[in-house]
A and B are shown apart, each in its own frame.
Chain A
Amino acid sequence: MGRIVAGLRIAWRNLWRNGRRTGITAAAIALNTAVLIVSFGLMHGIVVDMVRQITTISVGDAQVHAQGFRAARSFYKAIPPAALDALLAQATTAGVLAAPRSFGFGLVSSGPKSAGAMFWGVDPVAERRAFGLPGRIARGQFLADRVEGRSYLGRPVREIVLGRKLAKTLHAEVGSELVAVVQAGDGSLGNELFTVTGVLAGVGEEIDRAGALVHRQDFDELFVAQGRVHELALSSRGALPAEEVAARLGPISAGLELQTWGELLPAIADMVRMFDGVMWLFALVFLLAAGLGVTNTMLMATYERMREFGVLKALGASPWRILGGVTGEALLLGMLASLAGSCLGLAGTWYLTRVGIDLSGGGDLVVQGMAMQSVWRASLTPADVILPVLAMWLACVLAALYPAAKAARIDPVRAMTHV
């Protein structure tokens, strides 16, 4: 212990022999550390935002479908009622929120405009409880919980909520009357009048372009759906990792499939993984820059002290001891500087967590068809600080190895006569 303290004291004294040089290198290390921490925080922020958007707005942590439904979106590939009841019970036990949804393709028409639409038969109560979608309304309001007693301007109506782009295509606004025409489950021509009760904000490409949300009961009548449910979307409202949600629901009965959002949206899952790789590549550049500064400083410091190293060796110091002394100096430098850098980085990240960077530029931000928060906020975990700092220490030690080895291998006689 005493040796370590003595070593540190020697290292400290040595560092400040040339205070300006050490100071500049320390500043470089501190700045690099700060930039790394802020960047990790920002990258993490994107990932957290993306995952939160996906898991809490409409996709959820995981979804259950009948096998083969997702490929063809076949109306007839529904989750059997018994299996659905079991799943809902299981979700309740597991503390996971669940929203059953039905899907059917059809035509919506508003005056002279018509467009193809994907009808969502939703349970507004379950959606409100489990997902953020009912809150993502740009104009008007979301579907009423019950079909009884709905009215618009005093007359009874069937309500429909439209995706942003679909509403635009139809020139539909809150209060607009729409005709829905679909191929019903029994082959007949289902048609019904709806009144637009709300228009969604940008949520995701699929819903924006074609989403037409109606109450489950209306969906059932329109499509003669006989209660068919095609999707059970599961959400922990961000409380649990998706894999945990899936694990709590499993095992799933035969004929059904349970997939996490990462499996449902592989492109986004890949992107999240890619961010990690990109981040460490980015980090490598900064670590290299800081490391080269340390090498330079330590190289100069050892050249200046060649005579001392010669004396030390002549007095019996082992090469290892000298190696340890020099790398210890670099490590001390790295530790002190990265401590300062961490403070700076934390302050910067804290600011970006609170205020963020506005990316909207007036429009919505959509990545891979998913709407993102338009303000880019950092998100910080302990790992985002500890990993860059540890990496910086390692870089300092590695950078000092070459000068240290040079000092350790020196021939005492030549070193002492060195001018």
Chain B
Amino acid sequence: MRVWLLTAGLLWSAAAWAAGPAPGAGHSAKELLDKVDDLYRGASSHGKMSMRVVTEHWTREMKLEFWSQGKDQSLVRILAPLKEKGTATLKSGNSIWNYLPKVNRVIKVPSSMMGGSWMGSHFTNDDLVKESRMAEDFDFAVTFEGAREGLEIIEITCTPRPEAAVVWGKVVVVLDRASELPLRSDYHDEDLELARTMTFGEVRLLGGRRVPSLMRVVPADKPREATEVRYDEVEFDLDLDAGLFSLRSLQR
């Protein structure tokens, strides 16, 4: 089961998401990363979330509803603001389509635009489709364990394997040692310069799991900009109509 947020681009992050229990169980780095990756992988999910994007020039808030099925299929629909209500994004495999209710047309995002921003956020279209499994695509090691800034943490540093098709040069994942929930992830580009930072917070019960419900992405080159995603409600493992992830349903 896999939450939409993965499809929303946070998937690549595969940011460590240990669900709740086994505090201090002393899992290996691989186990921790796998747990994170597997936590939301599953049959299906459905929920609502808010996305707040702050840029130098504007700030906007959106309400979104999402559905996901398996690894490859997801659908996101904008509920608010009114101007964009009904606008939807369908991800199927490596392709993304957008439905625009104003003109009543579906358009496929071309490969040249996959690096572009998704709905004006700090996530790219690529973020939505990139599948990356930390323990498979990266070499990793626990690089710090203990107290830092008053928190007991575990720091895992991941470097991509030569053959892995990932855009990052290094990812540093910091987890809370007791809960094994992620606190932050630092994404470094291929020159090992910090590209963006994702922080996690507001741990609460969502769909029966204790997970951080707030994620905040800050691009390193624009520290005053940010995209915040907050989960309002999530349910897992529900029966979704197979036709939900089709171009026809996109226009509904």
**Interface residues in chain A, defined as those with a beta carbon under 8 Å from any beta carbon in chain B:** 76, 107, 109, 112, 114-116, 179, 181, 183, 185-189, 191-193
Contact = CB atoms under 8 A, between A and B. Distances in A.
Contacts of B56: 76
A109 B106 CA distance: 9
Nearest to A194: B103
B117 interface: yes
B60 A186 contact: yes
Interface string B99-113: 010110101111011
B60 A187 contact: yes
Given A187-B60, A189-B120, A191-B100, A116 B105 contact: no
Contacts of A116: 110, 112-113, 116
Chain B's interface size range is 20 to 34
Contact of A181 (B81, B83, B98): B98
Contact of A115 (B84, B112, B116): B112
A114 B119 contact: no
A185 B57 contact: yes
Given A186-B58, A188-B120, A189-B87, A107 B109 contact: yes
A229 B87 CA distance: 29
Contacts of B109: 107, 114
Given A188-B120, A193-B103, 18 more contacts: A76-B57, A107-B107, A107-B109, A107-B110, A114-B109, A114-B110, A116-B110, A116-B112, A181-B107, A183-B117, A185-B57, A186-B58, A187-B120, A189-B87, A189-B100, A189-B119, A191-B102, A192-B103
Given A186-B58, A187-B58, A179 B103 contact: yes
Given A187-B53, A188-B83, A179 B112 contact: no
A109 B107 contact: yes
A187 to B, nearest CB: 4
Contacts of B112: 115-116
Given A107-B110, A107-B113, A116-B113, A187 B102 contact: no
Nearest to B98: A181
B55 interface: yes
Contacts of B117: 183
Contacts of B58: 185-187
Contacts of B110: 107, 114-116
B54 to A, nearest CB: 10
A188 B84 contact: yes
B118 to A, nearest CB: 10
Contacts of B57: 76, 185, 187
B83 A109 contact: no
20 contacts: A76-B56, A107-B113, A109-B108, A114-B108, A114-B109, A114-B113, A115-B110, A179-B103, A179-B105, A181-B100, A183-B117, A188-B83, A188-B120, A189-B100, A191-B100, A191-B103, A192-B102, A192-B103, A193-B103, A193-B105
